[in-house]
Chains A and B, each alone.
Chain A
Amino acid sequence: MNGAAGAWSGIVADPLLHLTVTLAAYGCALWAYRRSGRNPLLNPVLISIALVIAFLLITGTPYRTYFDGARFIHFLLGPATVALAIPLYRHFDLVRRSAPAIAVSLVAGSLTAASSAVLIGWLLGASPESLISLAPKSVTAPVAMGITQVLGGIPSLTAGLVILTGILGAMTGTLVLRLTRVRGDAATGLAIGTASHGIGTARALQISDTAGAFSGLAMGLNALLTAIVLPIVWKIFAGG
């Protein structure tokens, strides 16, 4: 290896570069979000992703190389998901009093998310593989990809659709709820968490601890519900 080129390829292979890029992109996104008066349309996840993608395209870095470094940040998603038990515990009284309402709303929202997506995709002529990959898009990524795998869809297409759904729900959630005159942080959190999983939950935590608690709960319950129900419903329709 000679000189500068060798030094650069060494730096690219070092996790430090892509960790720094990720943090810097997030720092810029957070600045823009706060500067806008916390406008949800300037979603920090979306802006960070756009900035990192721009960096990768400019430097010609493959995604795999980037993720090799940035996976240390990705790894913390696991412990952060566990930590969602803390807001849930803080608001357990309200959760317990709301239990029947949570059950009804979550089942209705979960069925709506999957069935309306598949129906619209089918009406617009999407392929069967696309429809299968679309069905679990409101569920947290590892569960959604597992469901797609079992039903014969394309897991990596599901991964992309799950991320886009999360960002979309995080950006538009409070606007949709205001237009439908829904009030209350419990309803807001449950709605955003049911439709748009973890990325929605990150948005709900920006609203309040209560919204974060209900969103984290909705994410977990919707994953459980969809993983059990969707394969059964799909087999009934596909077999009939």
Chain B
Amino acid sequence: MIFYLTAIFACQLAGEIFVALLGLPLPGPVVGMAILFVALLMKGSLSPALAAAGALLLDHLSLLFVPAGVGVIAHLALLQQDGIALAAALVVSTLLSIAITGFLMSRLGPPDGAAASREERH
């Protein structure tokens, strides 16, 4: 577990260095995700310990957004200028882009029958 947590941190570190050296417009962790993904493809298998280390971080991904999310209060004054225009733009564009992306993907993509029914349960 410690070995694989270290590997995950090392992928992020490599991503941060990569981004800094090449001046890419991407965050280090996103490049780190690509690095870990390529490493998994090359290795050709996923060790249960790495899966456990990943689950430790991803099982409560929502929690990790709370400290930054509370920062909305720091931006309240800015959000109030143009408040109605911004609110309308956020709501309509978010719903529209979810609908369009999902619609195209479900029509153009291959059927994923096994996974399709899981959401209905909740």
Contacts and interface: CB of A to CB of B under 8 A. Distances in A.
Do A and B belong to a common assembly? Answer: yes
A41 interface: no
B12 A78 contact: yes
Most central of B70, B109, B111 by chain A CB within 10 Å: B70
A160 B77 CA distance: 11
Interface string B22-49: 0001111110111111001100001000
Given A81-B33, A82-B8, A196-B94, 9 more contacts: A48-B63, A85-B11, A113-B96, A159-B68, A159-B71, A180-B102, A184-B106, A187-B106, A202-B62
Interface string A30-71: 100000011000011100110011001000000100110011
Most central of B74, B93, B99 by chain A CB within 10 Å: B93
B90 interface: yes
Given A85-B37, A154-B78, A187 B105 contact: yes
A182 B53 CA distance: 33
Interface residues of B, number: 80
A108 B33 CA distance: 24
B13 to A, nearest CB: 9
A134 B89 contact: yes
B16 to A, nearest CB: 8
Contacts of B41: 89, 92
Given A63-B70, A70-B70, A82-B33, A76 B64 contact: yes
B58 A163 contact: no
Contact of B37 (A78, A88, A210): A88
A210 B15 CA distance: 24
Secondary structure dominating the interface of B: helix
What band does the interface of chain A fall in when counting residues whose beta carbon is under 8 Å from B? 35 or more
A198 B8 CA distance: 18
Given A81-B33, A82-B32, A130-B85, A70 B105 contact: no
A72 B96 CA distance: 35
Interface in B65-122: 65-76, 78-79, 81-82, 84-86, 88-106, 108-112, 115-116, 118-119, 122
Contact of A127 (B11, B53, B81): B81
A168 B27 CA distance: 23
B69 A48 contact: yes
Contacts of B2: none
Contacts of B17: none
Given A80-B57, A205-B61, A174 B119 contact: yes
B70 A67 contact: yes
A151 interface: no
Nearest to B78: A157
A143 B111 CA distance: 32
